[in-house]
Amino acid sequence: MLLVLFVVLLGPRSAGAETGHDLWLRYQPLPEAVRAQYSRAIGAIVIPLQSPTGDAIAAELSRGLKGLLGREIPRADRIESGSALVVATSSSPIVAALGWDAELRAGGDEGFVIRSARVSGRPAIVVASAGEAGALYGTFRFLRLLQTGEPIDALDVADRPRLARRLLNHWDNLDGTIERGYAGHSLFWPSPSESRIVDYARANASIGINGAVINSVNANPQMLTAPWLDKAVTIARLLRPYRIRVYLAANFAAPVMIGGLKTSDPADAAVARWWREKADEIYQRIPDFGGFVVKANSEGQPGPQDYGRTHADGANLLADAVAPHGGVVMWRAFVYDASVDRDRVKRAYKEFVPLDGTFRANVFAQVKNGPLDFQPREPFHPLFGAMPKTPLMAELQITQEYLGQSTHAVYLAPMWTEFLNADTYARGAGSFVSRVVDGSLEGKRETGMAGVANTGLDDNWTGHDLAQANWYAFGRLAWNPSLDASTIADEWIRMTWSADPLVVATVRSILLDSREAYVHYTMPLGLHHLIGGDHYAPMPENTDPRREDWSATTYHRADARAIGVDRTRQGSGFVDQYQAPLRERWNDPAATPDELLLWFHRLPWTYRMKSGRTLWDELVHTYTRGAEEARGLQARWIGLAGKIDDERYRAVLARFERQTADAAAWRDKCLGYFGTARAAPDPRHLLAHEGSR
Ligand code: GCV
């Protein structure tokens, strides 16, 4: 095991204002002693790769080493004297001579090794891969070793991604606005911001992201017309050296809306031809195009059901169009048609499970982590483990739509690892969601994870400086879903803030505690969707006139007697969408963990909790605790004054001040509302939910 060298950067950075633009690729000068040690090992750089990716590797190494070591490292064609860093693929004679061929082939095009070796009789560090993508990822991994102060004298690192498709989904509209975006306008639209896109690509490549859906799933059909495809071509050109493929969200009604056809019925031959020709046209312009994501028959979007066809009919139509080019279709399972079931969280399972086995091989069902909609806490989506014949792409939300947006510090890795480590029991104990997603449970080769991006044109990309950690963590987990939240946090902090142990420990503790604090002061004990249309402020009283399932009252049903939703067998029966023993466990309030209690159960205020408190007292306790925890996060941040740069310190502090105030507001609003419901029921409110019990 490598021992971490203590690299203490003394005091805050002095030169230049910190905007946060550099993310975790800041490449700040290392302490003198470490610099000297690293410099000895890297006398020259040898990169025998003549290609755009080779150029990107060279540029990154030059930038990174210059920043970290404070000097230019010369490029050389071969190792002549001293020691060198070599970045190469199997096709290079240097790598061929090392005899690593079989190992590199096994690691695939994206895998790599970083090893101390002897090349031409001289000491070298060799970053090698079967393919250029692996050489790129290995380069960033090597730079991370330096950034985090690891020793590099006896390197032996080998890694490869566990998932094949590691994508960001941008909900970017063609007018430049971003649906659920909280960090400025789009990088892509209405015109690509070219230099920002290159930096975006660098950041993504550094964490292994290899695809981007560049327009919103609420897809404007114009995206598939020539003027917009031209812009997609530009974006693809900028991303390509960094091995990031462009994908597009497609509007299912495009044949009618832009194609001049009378129908978009998937059974219509002219419609099939239209999609084939459209795919051919796209591939002609973007040869490495990844494929389509489709939101169909969901929240008003068109889809195959408009013609009496199934989701599989629709997905297969597009899948056949991209198949000759090696493309895929990611068909979203975010459907909640009210006619399917009274309980919204049951609907996707009811629609999709019967279709398992009917999708083409190049179709993913893209499934959100939870069955409702990116709430602060949900049980895992019951589709994981329930569609063994269909590749499932997990969809996580990096942008904090329901988690304080760009105002609250909420590190999402603990939430995502909770999801990935959940046991579906689909093939007995140990059938973790991560094993469904990485394909190992059912022997699947098509694997992937999509993250709804939190990036925008704000200087620091993500609005809140600490929200950069969520982008970083998503990439790391898509690469390896078994990583833990704390390890990821440490890497990110050292590269983004400082290696000062106090800073690392403080920021780590803030990050790791932040999600649970957020749950405590907003939606504890399994409560969910206590919001209005802005998805930010507390609004437990929200009764949406448009749809019952957009109301908050539907999801807590608080009255004088009880609170929560009965999803047991006596209630909506949602528990039975899970495998045994989960269904039995969650059917029984005594066996259900407190965190999910009111998700599955409707319980009287006097219900005795595991703590010995009544349910009402527990709710008071948890909201009060959450608001205190928010204040505690702020206090910990204040302890960093003078230890980090002033710009980011102040920017984050201002947000913590708002977060603390918001947390108190959540506590007061929710306890006030539930306290009133408990004491004096509003009869209209009771009537509204009578039928849904
Ligand atoms: C892109 C939620 C969000 C919508 C989003 C939708 C989806 O409902 O509030 O903004 O639409 O999820 O995932 O399709």
pLDDT tens by residue, 286-316:
999 999 999 999 999 999 999 999 999 999 9
CA 279 vs CA 196, 275, 301, 318: distances in Å: 28, 6, 21, 9
- 373 in contact with ligand 1, CB cutoff 6 A: yes
- Rounded to an integer, what distance in angstroms lies between the CA atom of residue 194 and that of residue 128? 30
What is the torsional sign of CA 174, 175, 181, 182? positive
**482 CB neighbour count, 10 Å cutoff:** 13
pLDDT in tens, 542-555: 999 999 999 999 99
Please give the pLDDT value at position 82.
84
What is the torsional sign of CA 323, 211, 196, 250? positive
- 334 in contact with ligand 1, CB cutoff 6 A: yes
Answer whether 691's CB lies under 8 Å from 343's CB.
no
Using alpha carbons only, how large is the chain's radius of gyration in Å?
A: 26
- 177 in contact with ligand 1, CB cutoff 6 A: no
pLDDT in tens, 216-237: 999 999 999 999 999 999 999 9
For residue 447, how far is the Cα from the chain centroid?
15
Which residue's C-alpha comes closest to atom 13 of ligand 1?
A: 334
- Of 334, 382, 332, the residue nearest 575 (C-alpha): 382
Answer whether 104's CB lies under 8 Å from 86's CB.
no
pTM score: 0.96
Ligand 1 test: best mutation among 180, 347, 397, most atoms within 8 Å of CB? 180
3-state secondary structure of 561: coil
CA of 529 to the centre of ligand 1 (A): 13
Catalytic residue numbers read: 299, 373, 401
CA of 195 to the centre of ligand 1 (A): 29
Mean pLDDT to the nearest integer, 365-394 = 98
**Residue linked to tokens 């970053």:** 127
- 295 in contact with ligand 1, CB cutoff 6 A: yes
Which residue's C-alpha comes closest to atom 2 of ligand 1?
A: 373
- 529 in contact with ligand 1, CB cutoff 6 A: no
Please give the pLDDT value at position 686.
46
CA 420 vs CA 244, 250, 365, 478: distances in Å: 24, 28, 17, 11
Please give the pLDDT value at position 78.
86
Please give the pLDDT value at position 681.
52
Q: Which atom of ligand 1 lies nearest, measured to the CA of 217?
A: 1
Work out the angle between the directed axes of helices 269-285 and 226-239 (0-180°, nearest 10): 40
- 179 in contact with ligand 1, CB cutoff 6 A: yes
- Rounded to an integer, what distance in angstroms lies between the CA atom of residue 279 and that of residue 264? 16
Ligand 1 test: best mutation among 301, 331, 373, most atoms within 8 Å of CB? 373
- 549 in contact with ligand 1, CB cutoff 6 A: no
Please give the pLDDT value at position 393.
98
- Of 501, 457, 382, the residue nearest 189 (C-alpha): 457
CA of 74 to the centre of ligand 1 (A): 50
pLDDT in tens, 153-176: 999 999 999 999 999 999 999 999
Work out the angle between the directed axes of helices 194-207 and 132-147 (0-180°, nearest 10): 80
pLDDT confidence of 80, banded at 50, 70, 90?
Answer: confident
Q: Which atom of ligand 1 lies nearest, measured to the CA of 180?
A: 10
Sheet (strand 156-159) strand order: 75-76, 44-46, 84-89, 122-129, 112-119, 156-159
CA of 459 to the centre of ligand 1 (A): 25
- 488 in contact with ligand 1, CB cutoff 6 A: no
Please give the pLDDT value at position 624.
98
